[in-house]
């Protein structure tokens, strides 16, 4: 009697191929320290404490007059905006003729645990805006805030509207009560006073935990299965490793800043209610009257669209634009979609106002 | 016995043992409190894993209903994997988004922080016995540096404004 197996032999082939890929992986992929995330040429033009201001070298003969400063998020590092030559947010803007600066918040140490919103908004950000104004001989600059960097930038433009000509809010964290993400749920139930009192700065390890519960099976299993399946695809591997390196590098967040962020945004939701104070000054979103461009990703599982969109409706600006893109939090800034759709639209909007 | 035991402390009035011994009661108190905190921590820790385990079981049941047959070829395996990941991601995201998870996780973290605080307090006793600053004392220094930096920053700004006014004249 013939022993027939109902299992397709291709399954065994697939398993063998996958196993071979896992074994070959160390020979085919670079070590994390061999990958440089510094893609586009830039100079560090200013430093304050641990923060730095980067100025990117132009890629066009002529540049638009109004410079653009990007206020990156407090989580992970600015490299995601310049992660790969073909997916670089910064490079694309440079190619469109914009003069681009980037704020690197640096790596706070225990000594920086008392840095708060006031230091970030009225200290670092304000000082760098003033520097750019002086360097470029302009009265006003364009400002872009990404994620939590947009929370800081939003506070800044309400307190220093005279310095900002155009504001771009990319996935801004604004309305914590409307945020439907897991991060928001964890933040709402956090005893942040106790955390800051005991551990000081918000440790990166805790943030890694928070991120690990976001789409845990797709991000924790499928992503790596795909990586090993595509181990011979150099382009895929390069792109994968760059993002992985970026993900694994997040600085601590200064304790006082973290405390105010969690309390005022997620727990008490003061910002959208125009009740938040920064350095004893009220943040009134109605005072924002400059042109504003809000970018939201429909599939954002870190900052849900419901959390970002209220900014568009809360500001006093008459010239305001809201764009929603069919992508995620990172996809909006570092993907082929961002290159083909998000950045050309932003460039057009900015050019008309620069 | 008591005199004999306390003799080294009396002899070494500036050594670590005297300072440590005078605060040793504090260490005992902290250890007793750590045990109490550990009981609470275990309660929330158990609940944390129960929530994860229950969600896993429910998600697997859903997968079994949706994909009852054992996959036999590569395409079927791919389809099964997709169903498995989608159901597990949805169910776990629902759990992590829930009030019951948020509350329990918040309490679990809070207990961990209490443990850390008691551990800090014990460490402070040891630090003080060798005349080293405690965490609170270092925090005071950090706070003072922060306040001073802010004051210097404001003064520099005022000076800059005055200079600009002067130059404008």
pLDDT value, residue A213: 83
**Tens-place pLDDT, residues A164-187:** 999 999 999 999 999 988 888 999
Residue of chain B minimizing CA distance to A200 = B139
A264 noted as active-site residue: no
All residues of chain A having their beta carbon less than 8 Å from the beta carbon of residue B139 are 113, 200
Kindly write down the DSSP assignment for every residue of A24-77, as one continuous string: HHHHHS--GGG-----S-EEEEEEETTEEEEEEPPSSSS--SS-EEEE--SSS-
**Separation of alpha carbons A147 and A154, rounded Å:** 11
CB contact under 8 A, A213 and B96: yes
Q: Is A189 one of the catalytic residues?
A: no
**Alpha helix positions (H), A248-302:** 255-261
Residue B1's pLDDT is 61
* Full strand arrangement of the beta sheet holding A141-146: A42-48, A51-56, A100-104, A68-71, A141-146, A164-170, A292-297, A320-325
pLDDT confidence of residue B10: 59
3-state secondary structure of B160: helix
Contact criterion met (CB below 8 Å) for A171 and A150: yes
- Look at residue A272 in the predicted model and tell me its pLDDT: 97
A330 within some domain: yes
% pLDDT > 70, chain A: 98
Q: What is the pLDDT of residues B152-162, one digit of tens each?
A: 988 988 898 88
Q: Which of B77, B114, B117 sits opposite A11 (nearest CB)?
A: B77
How confident is the model over B6-33, as pLDDT tens digits? 665 555 666 677 777 777 788 889 999 9
Using the predicted structure, report yes or no on whether residue A1 has a pLDDT greater than 50.
no
Catalytic entry in A104, A116, A300, A307: A300
Clarify whether A312 is annotated catalytic. Answer: no
Which residues span the domain enclosing A343?
11-352
Chain A hits for B121, Cβ within 8 Å = none
Chain A nearest CA to B78, separation (Å)? 11
pLDDT confidence bin for A157, thresholds 50/70/90? very high
Q: Is residue A43 part of a domain?
A: yes
**In the structure encoding, which two tokens stand for residue A84, read together?**
């790969």
| B103–A14 CB contact, under 8 Å | no
Size of interface A-B (CB pairs under 8 A): 87
Report yes or no: A281 and A157 within 8 Å, Cβ to Cβ: no
> Residue A46's pLDDT is what?
95
Domain assignment present for residue A205? The answer is: yes
Residue A117 CB-density burial (10 A; 0-12 exposed, 13-18 middle, 19+ buried): buried
Is residue A4 one of the residues assigned to a domain? no
Are A154 and A311 in contact, with CB atoms under 8 Å apart? yes
On chain A, the residues whose CB falls within 8 A of the CB of B138 are 110
A271-288 mean pLDDT: 96
- Residue A142: in which H helix or E strand, if any? strand A141-146
- Residue A278 resides in a domain: yes
Chain A residues interacting with chain B (CB cutoff of 8 angstroms): 6-8, 10-11, 14, 49, 110-115, 119, 123, 180-182, 185-186, 188-191, 194-195, 197-200, 213-218, 221-222
pLDDT (0 to 100) of residue A137: 94
Query: Distances in Å between the alpha carbon of B25 and those of A309, B31, B32, B127, B130?
Result: 56, 10, 11, 15, 17
Chain-chain contact of B139 with A113 (C-beta, under 8 angstroms): yes
Cα of A93 to nearest chain B Cα, Å: 33
Query: Is B117 an interface residue toward A (CB < 8 Å)?
Result: yes
pLDDT digit string, tens, across residues A199-234 = 999 999 888 888 888 888 888 888 899 999 999 898
The count of residues in chain A is: 354
Answer whether B92 sits within 8 Å of A217, measured CB to CB.
yes
B81 to chain A, any CB pair closer than 8 A? The answer is yes
The answer, yes or no, to whether ipTM is higher than 0.85 is no
Tokens 């104004």 sit on residue = A133
Percent of chain A residues topping a pLDDT of 90: 73
The mean pLDDT value of chain A amounts to 93
Return the bridge partners of A47, or none: A52
Count structural domains, chain A. 1
pLDDT at A2 over 50: no
Q: Quote the CA–CA distance of B22 and B12 in Å, as a whole number.
A: 13
Q: What is the rounded average pLDDT of the residues A4-18?
A: 78
Instruction: Assign residue A316 the CATH number of its domain.
Output: 3.40.50.1820
More confident residue, A147 or B129: A147
β-partners of residue A293 are A168, A321
Residue A5 within any structural domain of the chain = no
Give the residue with greater pLDDT, A90 vs B20. Answer: A90
Nearest to A334 by CA among A232, A233, A265, A246: A246
The answer to whether position A325 is within a domain reads: yes
Least confident residue range of A19-33, A254-268, B117-131: A19-33
Find, in chain B, the residue whose alpha carbon is nearest to that of A201. B139
Model confidence pLDDT, tens digit, residues B30-70: 999 999 999 999 999 999 999 999 999 999 999 999 887 87
Residue range B68-98, pLDDT digits in tens? 787 778 888 888 989 999 999 999 999 999 9
Please tell me the predicted confidence (pLDDT) of residue A10.
82
Which pTM value belongs to this model?
0.89
Residues of B in contact with A115 (CB under 8 A): 146
SS3 label, residue A293: strand
Cβ distance A276 to A264 under 8 Å? Answer: yes
A284: in domain: yes
**pLDDT tens-digit map of A309-332:** 999 999 999 999 999 999 999 999
């Amino acid at each position: 009697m013939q022993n027939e197996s109902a299992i397709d032999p291709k399954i065994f082939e697939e398993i063998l191929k996958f196993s071979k890929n896992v074994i070959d992986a160390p020979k085919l992929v670079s070590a994390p320290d061999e990958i440089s995330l510094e893609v586009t040429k830039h100079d560090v033009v200013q430093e304050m404490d641990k923060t730095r201001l980067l100025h990117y070298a132009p890629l066009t003969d002529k540049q638009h007059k109004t410079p653009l400063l990007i206020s990156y998020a407090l989580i992970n590092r600015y490299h995601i905006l310049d992660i790969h030559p073909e997916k670089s947010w910064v490079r694309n803007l440079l190619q469109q003729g914009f003069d681009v600066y980037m704020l690197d918040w640096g790596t706070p140490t225990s000594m920086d645990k008392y840095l708060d919103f006031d230091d970030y908004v009225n200290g670092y950000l304000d000082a760098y805006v003033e520097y750019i104004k002086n360097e470029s001989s302009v009265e006003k600059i364009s400002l872009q805030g990404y994620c939590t960097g947009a929370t800081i930038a939003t506070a800044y433009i309400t307190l220093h509207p005279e310095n900002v000509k155009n504001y771009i809010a990319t996935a801004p964290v604004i309305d914590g009560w409307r945020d439907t993400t897991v991060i928001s749920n964890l933040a709402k139930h956090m005893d942040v006073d106790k955390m800051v009192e005991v551990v000081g700065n918000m440790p990166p390890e805790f943030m890694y935990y928070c991120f690990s519960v976001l789409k845990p099976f797709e991000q924790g299993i499928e992503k790596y299965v795909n990586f090993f399946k595509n181990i011979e695809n150099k382009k895929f591997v390069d792109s994968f490793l760059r993002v992985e390196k970026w993900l694994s590098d997040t600085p601590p967040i200064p304790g006082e800043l973290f405390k105010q962020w969690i309390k005022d945004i997620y727990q008490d939701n003061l910002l959208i209610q125009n009740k938040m104070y920064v350095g004893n000054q009220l943040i009134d979103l109605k005072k924002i009257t400059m042109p504003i461009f809000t970018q939201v990703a429909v599939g954002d599982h870190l900052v849900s669209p419901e959390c970002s969109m209220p900014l568009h409706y809360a500001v006093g600006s008459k010239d305001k634009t809201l764009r929603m893109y069919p992508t995620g939090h990172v996809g909006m800034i570092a993907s082929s979609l961002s290159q083909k759709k998000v950045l050309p639209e932003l460039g057009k909007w900015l050019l008309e106002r620069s | 016995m008591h005199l004999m035991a306390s003799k080294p402390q009396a002899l070494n009035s500036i050594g670590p043992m005297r300072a440590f011994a005078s605060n040793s009661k504090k260490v005992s108190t902290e250890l007793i409190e750590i045990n109490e905190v550990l009981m609470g921590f275990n309660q929330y820790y158990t609940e944390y894993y129960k929530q994860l385990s229950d969600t896993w079981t429910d998600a697997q049941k859903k997968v079994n209903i949706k994909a009852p047959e054992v996959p036999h070829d590569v395409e079927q395996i791919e389809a099964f994997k997709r169903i498995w990941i989608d159901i597990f991601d949805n169910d776990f995201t629902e759990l992590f988004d829930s009030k019951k998870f948020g509350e329990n996780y918040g309490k679990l973290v809070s207990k961990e922080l209490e443990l850390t605080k008691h551990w800090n307090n014990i460490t402070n006793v040891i630090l003080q016995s060798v005349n080293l600053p405690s965490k609170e004392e270092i925090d005071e220094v950090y706070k003072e540096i922060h306040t001073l930096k802010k004051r210097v920053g404001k003064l520099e700004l005022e000076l800059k404004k005055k200079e600009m006014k002067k130059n404008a004249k």
